[in-house]
Amino acid sequence: MSLDPSAQSEPTPAAPAAEQPRVALAPVDTATPTSAPTTPLAAGVPLSANELKKVRRVIRPAFPRKVWRAAVGLTLLVSMTINLILIVVVVILVNQVGAIKLTLASVLGQLDSAFEGLGAASIHDTIKINQQVPVRFDLPLKQDTVVTTLGPVPINTQATFSLGQFGSINGVVSLQLPAGTQLPIHLELTVPVSNSIPVVFDQAINIPLAEKGLGPVVAKLRSALGPIISLVRQLPDRFVIIEP
């Protein structure tokens, strides 16, 4: 037996102890009676897949899922109904395309003819005129005329009396013209005229609309309608489904 320390044998390391399984412990509620039964979830024990599904079914409410399924079913039903209606409408239109083409062509043709007739139309009418027209002006008069006296007209004037071979004398003549005496006179004066004249007559009118500004408008309407008529005429009388 040697006393050299280096000669002493090194202690052998102890074998590691086997790892014990870890168990999660849930906190203990002191207010909870100890007599309550413990479940795997309360004890902190990991759950299996089937147990997790059961827990999720219990935790998740079933009402929203039912509403969602009902909404999905209703949406599918409405979509199928709309598609069925559209298919029926398309089939009807395909079968009636010839009649629709004839109707559209007839309507558009009549509309084009109406525009053409409107451009060539004229307004014929008779306007009855009955108006009082005021008249105001100055009328100059320069003419010879004959007037008749309405009563005795006294005349006092200077006159020259001829005595033949004995000469002549001047004097004053005083006389009186009887009523009804006609006298030739010369008128030269300005007469102001202010009156109303009745104007009554029938005036016939004839107004061509094309010459009064409607012609360019009708031409634009017909030019806009022309491509539509051409497109309708190019439509087929019926659709044929060609099988591949």
pLDDT at position 46, please?
66
Name the nearest CA neighbour of 73 among 63, 65, 62, 83: 65
pLDDT at position 91, please?
79
161-187, pLDDT tens digit by residue?
Answer: 788 787 888 888 888 888 888 989 888
Tell me which residue range forms the domain holding 58.
49-95
Name the DSSP class of 239.
Answer: -
Higher local confidence (pLDDT), 49 or 184:
184
| Residue 178 included in any domain | no
| Residue 12 included in any domain | no
CB atoms within 10 A of CB 218: 19
Residue 81 predicted with pLDDT over 90: yes
CB neighbour list of residue 208: distance below 8 Å, 6 or more residues apart? 121, 122
| Residue 26 included in any domain | no
pLDDT at position 72, please?
85
User: How many domains are there within the chain?
Assistant: 1
Residue 34 predicted with pLDDT over 60: no
Higher local confidence (pLDDT), 26 or 58:
58
Name the DSSP class of 235.
Answer: S
Please, how many CA atoms are within 13 Å of residue 157, restricted to the half-sphere of its CB?
8
| Residue 183 included in any domain | no
| Residue 25 included in any domain | no
Cα distances (Å, whole numbers) of residue 83 to 57, 76, 89: 37, 11, 10
CB neighbour list of residue 235: distance below 8 Å, 6 or more residues apart? 97, 101
pLDDT at position 2, please?
37
Interatomic CA distance for residues 143 and 18, integer angstroms: 160
89-127, pLDDT tens digit by residue?
Answer: 887 777 777 777 888 888 888 888 888 888 888 888 899
Taken in order 201, 120, 221, 231, is the CA torsion positive or negative?
positive
Q: Is 159 within 8 Å of 171 (Cβ atoms)?
A: yes
| Residue 22 included in any domain | no
204-233, pLDDT tens digit by residue?
Answer: 988 888 888 888 888 888 888 888 888 888
14-25, pLDDT tens digit by residue?
Answer: 444 444 444 343
Residue matched to tokens 């897949």: 49
> Residues of the chain with pLDDT > 90: what percent?
11
Residue 10 predicted with pLDDT over 50: no
Look over the chain and give the mean of its residue pLDDT values, rounded to a whole number: 75
Averaged pLDDT, 194-205: 90
| Residue 63 included in any domain | yes
pLDDT band at 83 (very low <50, low <70, confident <90, very high): very high
pLDDT at position 240, please?
54
Residue 85 predicted with pLDDT over 90: yes
| Residue 120 included in any domain | no
Residue type for position 77: L
